[in-house]
Structures are given as C-alpha cells and as structure tokens.
Structure 1
Amino acid sequence: MAQLWNKGYNINQEIFRFTVGNDYVLDQLMIPYDIYGTIAHGAMLKKIGVLTSAEFKRVHTALRQLLKQWQAGKFQVQLQDEDGHTAIENHLVKKLGDLGKKIHTARSRNDQVVTMTRLYVKQTLLQHYQYTLDVIAELLRLAKRYEFLPMPGYTHMQRAMPMSAGMWFDQYAEALLDDLHLLETAYRLNDMNPLGSAAGFGVNLNIDRAYTTKLLGFERVQNNPVYVSYTRGKIEAAVLFALNQLMGSFAKFSNDILMFSMSETGYVELPKEFCTGSSLMPQKRNGDVFELTRGKANVMLGYLVSTIELQNTLLSGYNRDSQLSKDLLVNGLTLYDNTVKVMLTVTGGLAMNKAKCKEACSAEIFATDYALDLVKQGVPFRDAYRQVAAGVDSLVRIDPEKNIRAKRHLGATGNLGLSKIVQERAKRQRWCAGEQKRWQAVQRKLLGVL
C-alpha cells in the first residue's frame, strides 16, 4: 500500500519503521472514529459541490461496510499502511477507484488524526465517567451500611479521634465526585471540532466547518487552525491530569485498605477471592490489587509529565513529536479503564470487622471530647487542653457508638449528610446519561442517510 505522501521514491525501511512506531497499532483501536470523521467530511464535500450526491452515497456505503468489516475483525491496519488514515483511504481507492482519491480534498492527516482522537476520547471519557459513578454508588452504599460503626481516625499515623466507617467511605465518594468535575472539564475542552484546520493553516476552498461540527456532535468549532496543532498534546494533558486525580483517590483508598486490613488493625475484611498468595509462605493472603492500584497511580503521573514535556519546546504548527502523545493518551485511558473496573469489583466485596473497629477505639482517642466537655462548663480551651493532657493516661473509655452519634453538625459522624452526596451523584448521572444519548444519536445519524 502506498503512503499518502509518497512521491515516487522508496524510503529507507529502518527510518520508516522508526517514524511509524506503533501508530498503526493504536489506530486499529480508533478506526470507527476515523470513519465517522470521514463520513462527516464527505458529507461536507457534497454540500460544497466537490462530491455529487451519487458519489457521496457510494463513499458513505463503502465506509459503513468498512466499519462492519472492522467490527468483524476483518480490517487490519498494517505497518506498511503507516496509520489508519492511509489504510482507510487506500481501501476506498481500491474499492471506488478515482472517487476514493477525492475524499482527502481539503483535509490533512493533521486534522484527521485530531478529529479521530477527539471522538475516541469523547466516547471513552463517557464510559470512564459512568464507571466512576458506579464506584461512587458502591462507596455510598458502604457509607450508609457502616454509618454509625465507630473506628479510630488517624493523624500522623497515630490514633487521633473517633470517626465512623461511614465517614471513611464517604470521603472517597466525595473525592471522586470532585475528581469528576475535572474529568468533565477535560471532556468539554476536548469537545471542539478540529476538522477543516487541515495542515494547520486552513485551505483555499469554502469548506463548512460548522456543518461538520454539527454532524460529529461537537459542542463548537475549534476556531484557529494553528491552535489545533498546539492542542494536540494540550488536550491530552488535560485528560491525563483528570485521570491522575482519579487515580490518586483510588491510590489513597487502596493505601487505607492495605493499612486497615493488616493483622495489626483488622478493620477491613478482604474476601479471599481478592487476594493472591506467596510461593513460600503458606499462610499469606496478599492484597496485591491495592498495591498495584497504588503503584499504577504513579505510572499515570508519568504519562502526564511526558505529555506535557512533549509540547513545551515545539515551534507553532505541527511537529511529529506530537505523534507520541497518542500512545501516552491511549495508555492512560486504558490504565484507568482497568483500574476503575477493578475498584468497582472490590468495593462491591468489602466488609468491615465491627468488633475490631469498636475495640480499637481506646480511651485516649476521646481526649479531645473530654477537653471540649470542659469548654462546655466554661473552662477556656487552652486550660481544658492542658488539664486533659495531664491526665490522659487515666481517661475512661466512652461508648464509641454513642460518641459518634452525638456529633450532629453537618459532616460530623452523627450527620454525614449522605443524602446530599447521593443527590449530587444523581445529578452527575443525569448529565452523563444525556451526553451518552446525544453521542449515540450522532453515531446513528452518521451511519444513516445524510
């Protein structure tokens, strides 16, 4: 198959393999989105008179058939294709002859790859968003189930004050909801149409970029063609930043699980089905899934830093360095997909050891409560603090469940405000469902009659 840029000479094959890298493998994942972009571009070429209605109908039919071939595993992008864009165009030329050669009119692989990637990211982020909402639902279920189960809260790795298992689980539900704000921001940044920017400077044809924006379901046109090249890496970094925050929440949760499931604490009970073992020590049950989640958060950070660094020293306009951001993006999206699904599984199987949680609420963690009780009697806080500190070893243990139920201000252990968090999750669910519905409608229209 000929490369789209081939001018009649043979490129050195070592150079060719180096410049292609694994782009053709990555594009295999994104073929449907390149097909959607090509359908929209073809419809626009028909609208401005480059293609006749009959010609576009043939192109449209060929692209829909190609999508079915890909879905059946019968269309493979090869190394010699260089990328999916070349594979698709060569397929059209082989099937349609000279008509296939018209489809690249007013388009560059520069805007083609960004369009394809943006559509891929749109669908993938919506899937990630939904899975994260599902994890939040599980965390809120656990928070409600253990709303009044007392356990120690920690500062500086030492027992500090009583909290509840419900408070512990809910903090991660709230953290993930905040992280989804960032993911939604990345989604909105991604939701602009680069198609028609061509090689980064526009073209001398009266193309209709608003029309392709509507067909592809983008929120808006990305106005400046040079900026399209700049955002290849910039938008990817925004996506990876949001994924880093999500992975950070999962890493912290995993670290807590590891600490709280140790034999020395025993607050969390891990199902044996979640644990691996040792090849030497027969008694071991290891929570490797949480260790790997903690570690993979750092791998995700590496993807982000690499993506940012790719863009920092580049001249305005397209540079081949940007190609490398696709691999980092796909790796990051894949890593998060695997992680969020595992987190959904583990949150569905966690349980708390009620006896150990209550037993661990030893007398000294009520010291602050004793000091504030003195404040209620009119003792200045600093005097109350010193008085309790002087007698901390003789403090009497308070009933831990009564203690946490008695704290009633908003957010405290006796008033977690879970209903408010449930409502916020429901609001995000409605937004996600609406975006998914709109995107599905776009796909149906592109594959229907235009």
Structure 2
Amino acid sequence: MPKIWSGGASREGSIDISDLMVEDDTVIDQNFLEFEALALIAYHLEIFREGLIASEDSVSILRSLLLLLDRDIVLKPELEDVHGNVEEFVIRNSGKAGDNLRLFLSRNEQIHTDIRLYGRSRLLELAFHSAEISEAALKKRDEFSGSMPGYTHYRQGMVVSVKTYMDYIAAIFENSATEMLETARKMEYLPLGYGSGFGSLSDADFSKISESLGMSPVPVNPQYLSSRRGIDEADILYPVLKLMINISRISQDLIMFSGDEIPLFNLPDGFVTGSSLMANKRNPDFLEMLQGYASEQIGSFNSLISLVANKSSGYHRDFQISKKIMVRSLQRSISILKILPEFFSGIGFDAEASGNIIKNSSYATVNAKKLFSEGHTWKRAYSEAGRMVREGQELEKIKPGDATTITSENLSSIKDAIRQEISRYDDISDKLIALAKKLTVSN
C-alpha cells in the first residue's frame, strides 16, 4: 500500500525498516482515531463553507469520515499511523474526492491536535476518578477514630489522629483532581493550522475550526506552537506523575502500617495475596505493584523530557516516542485510579493496636507545649520534655486534635466542574457530527 508521503521526493528502499520507524505506532494511534476524525470533520466543514474545493467532494469526504466514526476499524501497520489509515479509508470510500482529505495539512499538526484532544479527555477522566478516591478516603476519615503514631525518618515523632491521616490522603486526591482539571483546560490552543511548523498554506479559517472544536485559535507564531510538541505531553503527564508519586508514598505507609510490627490498618481482601509456600502470609502485593508502576512512570517521564532536550526548533521523528509514553502512562494511571475507591473503602483501622504501639516519648512535643503555656520559655519547656524522655519519666498522654480540611461539599463542586467540562466537549463532538450529517443528507 502507498505511504501517506508517496509521490514526494523520498522513495521507499528495498530494505524494510518499518519496525524501527513506526514500531507500534498504529497500536498507540488507535487511541487517536476518534479525535483525528473529529478534527478532520471540523476542517472540512469549514472548507465546505468557504468553497475551497468542490462542494460534492467536501460532502463525500465528510460522509466517509462519519462512516469511519461508525466503524470499529483496526489500523493497519503498513499504513504507518492514524493519518495514513484514515486517508486510505476515505479515499477507498470517496474515490478521487478523498485526495483532498488532508488539503495543506501536515501530519505534525494533525498528531499534535490528536494529542491535545486525547490528553484533555483522559485528564478529565483521571480527575473524576481522583475526586472519587478522595470521597472514599473522606468516608473512612469520618468512620475511623483514635490516635496513631506519626513518623519522620522512619521513627516515631508525634501522635496524630487517624482522622488527620485519612484527611491527608483525601487532600492528595482532591488537589490532584483540581490540578488535572486545570491542566485539561490549558490544552486550549489548536495545533491544526501551524502546518509543519512554519504556518499553514490552507485558506481555511482556523479560528472557526478552533471554535468548533472547543479550542482557541492558533497563536500568531506557528513555530512556537509546533515547539510545544513533547512539552505538551510532559505538561499532560506532570500532574498525573505527581499523583503517582504520592500514591507510591501512601502505599509505603500502608505497607508498613499493616505489617506485623505496626498493625494499624487492615488491608482488604482482594488486594493482598498469599505465599506459594508460607500459608500464614497476607502480602501487600497490590501496594508494591503501585510503587513499581510509579517508578516506571518516573522513568518514562524522564525519557520523554530527554527526547525534546538538545533538539533544534522544528519537528523530529523521534518525537513520536513521546506519544507512546503519554498514552501508556495515562492508560496505566486510569486502570489504577479506577480501583482505588474500592481499595480505600475496604481498609480498616485497629485503634487498640495503634494505641499500644504509640511510644510515650511521642508525647514529648505536646508536653513541651503544655509547659510553655504554663509560663516556661520555649527553650526551657523543650529541654524539660527532653529530660523527661532521657530519664524515662512518664509523659502525659495528651490526645491530638483533628486537623481536617476536606469537605464533601467541596468535592461535590469539583466533580460537578469536571462533569461540566466532559459534557461541554461531548456536546461539541455531538454538534460537529450533527452538522456533518445534516450537510451530507441535504447534499
């Protein structure tokens, strides 16, 4: 089959290097198929309005793109990517009219558009899951009571309430939901229209195309926007990466806090495994795998930003690796976040065991505070508490307060905002498809 670039100055050689050049591009690009079709529908609706090609050709192309959205097609590796596959499908269904499918378009601006549309969609999905996890942690915060040891340097430091600890977990996921929502909203500029990075030769009005896709017009300088390739993938993944790092740290806590030595929490069945030899084991394999996936994503992110470093301005072929890193990282994160509400809903807290584990010395700081409130200087109060610990004197067990900040009302507001964004983009897609269908029926 002819490549999308067949007919240009470059010719195919006798050696097949497709495995190195495109590898699993079509597997990754399968995720972009819907967004590719929607962007092309928006483009050709504007081409029809402006009469840039014969109206019957525009109608034929739009009809093929609508057919593509209704078909569950699998991209063919020999056509290299989503662009080549879509072009082949449209030409096969539209005949010669399909030759103008990609009128003055570059694959660079097309895949960049797909990346932004796909990344925006997945960030909103992740944001919603993150808010749901926060709600699950919040329910446990309100259910649990009692105190637990607080650790620094893997040593007991102060006593903290379990409500404060669960609120900490809820806060991580609430803040991540907000950050991912904000990042999704920042994916506002439409790359379609910068050509190969030097401006488009198309006479289509890209400001109207941008509006029809719920995005902003291309900034004045096309080289700047094209230079965002790779950086955009990093921007999309950064809030997700930070959340995965926090998930890894929570996992480390719960691995320690559910073990034989510090049995504060009980992990739910289904998230622990047994040993093939030792019948007594309840291994925290799920949490350990979360830590492994977090480490994997850190490595992938470092690979991503390394790809775009030390490059001249303009597109480079190895940037295609960045889309693979982005897609796989987002897919893995979605699969993790989907099941975390059930995990947190199933954990238990053993207040009695926790109370027995707390060392009396962990009350030193709060006892120093009490001495200060009784008139001692802070330095004297601190020293006196230290002396009591050194001499093994019993410190007063002063119950910690609850430092809680997360509310169900705020979480509901965040979820509503995420739903509104998802609904807005769904409405945009539905409107585009409806306009295309109306045009193809009436012509």
Please, what TM-score do these two structures have when normalized by structure 2? 0.93
* Aligned match for 1:333, one of 330, 343, 347: 330
Matching residue of 2:23: 21
Q: Distance in 2 between matches of 1:377 and 1:205?
A: 78
* Aligned match for 2:95, one of 68, 82, 97: 97
Q: Distance in 2 between matches of 1:113 and 1:31?
A: 10
Moved more, 360-369 or 130-139: 360-369
1:168 aligns with 2:156: no
Q: Distance in 2 between matches of 1:304 and 1:212?
A: 32
CA contact (8 A) 1:255 1:290 kept: yes
Matching residue of 1:57: 59
Matching residue of 1:4: 4
CA contact (8 A) 2:257 2:263 kept: yes
* Aligned match for 2:304, one of 286, 304, 307: 307
1:432 aligns with 2:430: no
Matching residue of 2:290: 293
Structure 1 spans left out of the alignment, 5+ residues: 405-412
1:448 aligns with 2:434: yes
CA contact (8 A) 2:207 2:216 kept: no
Paired AA for residue 135 in structure 1: I
**1:98-130 CA deviation, whole Å, 9 max, x = no partner?**
111111112111111111121111111111110
Paired AA for residue 87 in structure 1: N
1:248 aligns with 2:245: yes
Paired AA for residue 234 in structure 1: I
1:162 is paired with a residue of what secondary structure?
strand
Task: For residue 53 of structure 1, report the CA deviation from its aligned partner.
Answer: 4.2
Task: For residue 83 of structure 1, report the CA deviation from its aligned partner.
Answer: 0.7
1:343 aligns with 2:340: yes
Cα 1:136–1:13 shift into 2, 3 Å: farther
CA contact (8 A) 2:167 2:405 kept: no
2:282 is paired with a residue of what secondary structure?
coil
1:192 is paired with a residue of what secondary structure?
coil
**1:235-264 CA deviation, whole Å, 9 max, x = no partner?**
101122211101011111111000000111
Cα 1:92–1:13 shift into 2, 3 Å: farther
Moved more, 181-190 or 391-400: 391-400
Cα 1:171–1:220 shift into 2, 3 Å: farther
Task: For residue 211 of structure 1, report the CA deviation from its aligned partner.
Answer: 0.9
Cα 1:13–1:80 shift into 2, 3 Å: farther
**1:11-42 CA deviation, whole Å, 9 max, x = no partner?**
34422332112111111122111110110111
Cα 1:177–1:223 shift into 2, 3 Å: farther
Cα 1:445–1:319 shift into 2, 3 Å: same
Q: Distance in 1 between matches of 2:108 and 2:367?
A: 67
Q: Distance in 2 between matches of 1:230 and 1:427?
A: 35
Moved more, 179-188 or 125-134: 179-188
1:50 is paired with a residue of what secondary structure?
coil
- Point out 4+ residue stretches in structure 1 off by more than 6 angstroms: none
Paired AA for residue 33 in structure 1: F
Paired AA for residue 121 in structure 1: G
Q: Distance in 1 between matches of 2:259 and 2:342?
A: 20
Matching residue of 1:410: none
CA contact (8 A) 2:113 2:192 kept: yes
* Aligned match for 1:78, one of 73, 76, 79: 76
Q: Distance in 2 between matches of 1:418 and 1:442?
A: 33
Listed as ranges, the matches of 1:190-229 within 5 Å are 190-229=187-226
Q: Distance in 1 between matches of 2:58 and 2:335?
A: 40
CA contact (8 A) 2:234 2:305 kept: yes
CA contact (8 A) 2:163 2:403 kept: no
Paired AA for residue 4 in structure 1: I
CA contact (8 A) 1:162 1:361 kept: yes
2:102 is paired with a residue of what secondary structure?
coil
Task: For residue 219 of structure 1, report the CA deviation from its aligned partner.
Answer: 4.0
Cα 1:222–1:284 shift into 2, 3 Å: farther
Q: Distance in 2 between matches of 1:157 and 1:430?
A: 39
Moved more, 38-47 or 184-193: 184-193
| RMSD across aligned positions (CA) | 1.9
* Aligned match for 2:40, one of 38, 54, 75: 38
Moved more, 105-114 or 357-366: 357-366
Please, what TM-score do these two structures have when normalized by structure 1? 0.91
**1:142-178 CA deviation, whole Å, 9 max, x = no partner?**
11222x4211111221222111111111112222333
CA contact (8 A) 1:240 1:303 kept: no
CA contact (8 A) 1:275 1:286 kept: yes
Paired AA for residue 337 in structure 2: V
Matching residue of 1:407: none
1:154 is paired with a residue of what secondary structure?
strand
Structure 2 spans left out of the alignment, 5+ residues: 437-443
Matching residue of 2:440: none
Paired AA for residue 56 in structure 1: S
1:314 is paired with a residue of what secondary structure?
coil
Give the % identical residues: 27
Cα 1:415–1:329 shift into 2, 3 Å: closer
Matching residue of 1:414: 402
Q: Distance in 2 between matches of 1:79 and 1:441?
A: 32
Higher relative contact order, structure no. (Cα contacts within 8 Å, ≥ 6 residues apart) = 2
Q: Distance in 1 between matches of 2:364 and 2:201?
A: 77
